Amino acid sequence: MAREGRVPPEQRGERSPERATRGDRRGTRSGNGGGGGGTRRPSPPSLAVWQAKVEAVPAEELPGLIRELEADPRSGARALAARARRRWERWRQARERWAELAAAQDALVPGGRVAGVDEVGRGCLAGPVVAAAVILSGDACLPGLDDSKRLKPAARDGLAAAVRRQALAWAVGIATPAEIDALNIWHATRLAMRRALDALPVPPQRVVVDGRSPGDLGYPVEAVVDGDARFAAIAAASVVAKVFRDAWMARLDRVYPVYGFARHKGYATAEHRQALALYGPCPEHRRSFLPVRQAEGAPPRDVPESDEPAPGAAGGRRKRRPAVEAP
């Protein structure tokens, strides 16, 4: 009898064990077909997506994001987790710092209206001296607030906007270069402070100022050494005044571009002194200041000017017509 030949499994409509095993493995990976399909685990977000989240998510939501990143086995995700943790730590410290500033102020006048006042521009050779007065609301929350000199420009701009939104009242007052020359810088600074306080729509119960006492401001005054680093309202006033004056000097720079006002803000830098030596003072310089007087004695050159008008004198605050028009 003839021996019956073996028929390969493929010809019988079956899969060979080897092919079946390979198919099962493919099914396990893909989750479809192969007789042994499993559930596919979702892929983690790309590192680019993680990075965008680390930069954009609100600080108070960072702990949850950090946990997700630390569960991702990729080294890049772990590095982003470390970056997010550093950002969280900075935010936490800023919150604690804000709590300290607010507590110090509340201890002075519990639940009362305290106006913080600070000035900027006293030592400049050009431009006005600017003072701001700020009364913070009881529910204000300004993490990162500090003395304006310790903050980067972008942080100052953001905080100044937050102060204006959250303040119970704020105002800005200025004293012009002509007033500085007529009164001297000390009395002109006090004038700017009084103008800021007078422009507040809500009268303060007490005023706190940074440094030495400016004298009579029309309200009970307490001078605090390093006040802009210790009291919330003074720190807020320092930020508002600095941002306002920087914008003012940037506009003056467009009127008198040869002096570089946008860069040095009128301070006696080498660049500013060199421009004074070359062109002499412009109408915005303080002629009672020695470097300006010395430059005025030298033969001046023609000072190029643009057609843009110089900033006008006025003040600004919330819920009232500004007394100083921002540039």
The annotation places the binding site for a divalent metal cation at 118-119, 210
Q: Of 98, 94, 129, 127, whose CA–CA distance to 233 is shortest?
A: 98
Strands 114-120, 221-224: pairing is: unpaired
Please report, in range form, the residues annotated as the binding site: 118-119, 210
Q: Of 313, 298, 193, 199, whose CA–CA distance to 251 is shortest?
A: 313
Q: Concatenate the DSSP letters of all residues of 263-312 into one string.
A: HHTT---HHHHHHHHHH---TTB-TTSHHHHHHHHS-PPP----SSPPPP
Strands 114-120, 206-210: pairing is: parallel
Q: Are 121 and 129 in contact (CB under 8 A)?
A: yes
Q: Of 239, 58, 250, whose CA–CA distance to 155 is shortest?
A: 239
Give the separation between CA 237 and CA 115, rounded to whole angstroms.
9
Give the separation between CA 184 and CA 200, rounded to whole angstroms.
25
Give the separation between CA 142 and CA 166, rounded to whole angstroms.
9
Number of alpha carbons in the 13 Å side-chain half-sphere of residue 264: 18
Give the separation between CA 106 and CA 134, rounded to whole angstroms.
15
Distances (CA, A) of 186 to 22, 50, 130, 288, 290: 89, 53, 12, 12, 16
Tokens 């499994």 found at:
9
Give the separation between CA 278 and CA 6, rounded to whole angstroms.
107
